[in-house]
Amino acid sequence: MSPSDTPGGRWSDLDRPPLNATALRRALIRPGGLWTSLEVVPATGSTNTDLAAAAVRGAAEGTVLIAEEQTAGRGRLDRNWSAPPRSGLFFSVLLRPGDRVPAERWVWLPLLAGVATATALSRSAGVDTALKWPNDVLLTSTPDTGAGPGRVPAPVERKCGGILAERAGDAVVLGVGINVSLRADELPVPTAGSLALAGAANVDRDPVLRAVLRSLEEWYGRWRETGGDPSASRLQQAYAAGCATLGRTVRAELPGGRATVGEAVAVDGDGRLVIATADGAHESVAAGDIVHLRAASAGE
């Protein structure tokens, strides 16, 4: 039995109690369901790395690996993801879309995870969420600035989660990191946020994790049943509806020092961001080709 199966041990404290692995298994693993096994470990370098190795060894679809602490967590382009123990949710899931979904549609899996995570956080924690293409989950709020009637301040957006999808043979490992109880002095960068800092109605990690995994199961099942068709599964529409990037002027920095600047107008059927440039052209950029995406002034 792992330390996270019981309320005692060095992983237990009043502010950040451990996850209850036994209760999570009881709630999530069921006959005919997606999730087939669930393990909570006290610490590891990267749940994605561990689960990718397990996938190569033949681990079943629906394997879930959760760490109370990651010492070498990774984001997109191998950027570091670190947080204090038990301050968030750090987990990976193993998926095998197999013959039911063509490999070229697997690019939608990180976007699917974004939709599922944002939806679950809104429902379980009572927070407003948005998605930054391609793989960030944002918490949004409208500050009370006392600006007076007729003036609506711009929403404040803070990154509270990130998603990383990696191929492992004939499988895909989806890693998700969510800041739950991080305090202001623990944030890695000023633009980060957490459920606690956003005034979430619920910062108990167990029900939040259950909500995210159930939402992932629902969206993955719908997507797989349609052969990975992003439109028929309503995934493309849901992503566009929740994507804060669309409608904004952005600068997409590409390899070799090239950049594309324009309005982000759509996410196409291949999961690429469509940018309308000043000369009237439309350029589609893939997540794998982006070095950095940021807001830009219209005249840049």
Residue 172: CATH number of its domain:
3.30.930.10
The Cα 96–Cα 170 span in angstroms is 7
pLDDT for 191: 86
225 and 264 fall within a common domain = no
Beta bridge partners of 177: 90, 162
Beta bridge partners of 199: none
67 found inside a domain: yes
pTM of the model: 0.90
Q: By residue range, what is the domain housing residue 128?
A: 3-240
300 found inside a domain: no
pLDDT at 260 exceeding the cut of 70: yes
The Cα 294–Cα 248 span in angstroms is 10
How many structural domains are present in the chain?
A: 2
Give the pLDDT band of residue 151 (cuts 50, 70, 90).
low
Question: Average pLDDT in the 185-206 region?
Answer: 94
Q: Is 288 left (phi over 0), alpha (psi -120 to 50) or beta?
A: alpha
Give the end of a domain, one of 240, 264, 284.
Answer: 240
pLDDT for 3: 47
Residue keyed to tokens 């590891």: 44
273 and 218 fall within a common domain = no
236 and 279 fall within a common domain = no
38 found inside a domain: yes
Backbone torsions φ then ψ of 44, nearest 5 degrees? -160, 170
The Cα 247–Cα 154 span in angstroms is 14
195 and 259 fall within a common domain = no
pLDDT for 103: 95
9 and 152 fall within a common domain = yes
204 and 249 fall within a common domain = no
194 and 92 fall within a common domain = yes
